Amino acid sequence: MLFQYIFQHAAVAKMFRVAFWMRKHLAMTWKRTWVWSTSQSVEALDLGPLLPSEKKTSVQTTKRWVGKDGKKKWQGTDKLKATQYLDTS
């Protein structure tokens, strides 16, 4: 209820959204990332689509298979958590 009130009465700012590949920023894996900001400069993070050479990685973060029901399935491996960088400084 309070959130709804604040949302309705707050000043409206233009928001900018960008999706980019972390691999383009020297990450170990592809990792598609979305960022929302009130600054248009955030769009500079998008360095374009991944090239086939950039899709090759030595880190296997998921196990993929087709289930008995015919649907594609996947499960994160132990290496998935290591690809998440958290700056705690």
Residue 38: partners with Cβ closer than 8 Å, 6 or more residues away: 13, 14, 15, 16
Q: What would the two tokens of residue 9 be?
A: 């009465």
Strands 62-66 and 72-76: antiparallel
pLDDT in tens, 9-51: 666 778 899 999 988 888 878 888 999 998 999 999 999 998 8
Q: Hey, how many other C-beta atoms are within 10 angstroms of the C-beta on 38?
A: 9
Q: What would the two tokens of residue 51 be?
A: 């090239």
Q: What would the two tokens of residue 31 be?
A: 């990792």
Q: Is the pLDDT of residue 79 over 90?
A: no
Average pLDDT over the chain reads 84
Q: Is the pLDDT of residue 2 over 80?
A: no
Length of the chain in residues, anyone? 89
pLDDT at 55: 82
Strands (E), the chain: 16-21, 32-37, 62-66, 72-76
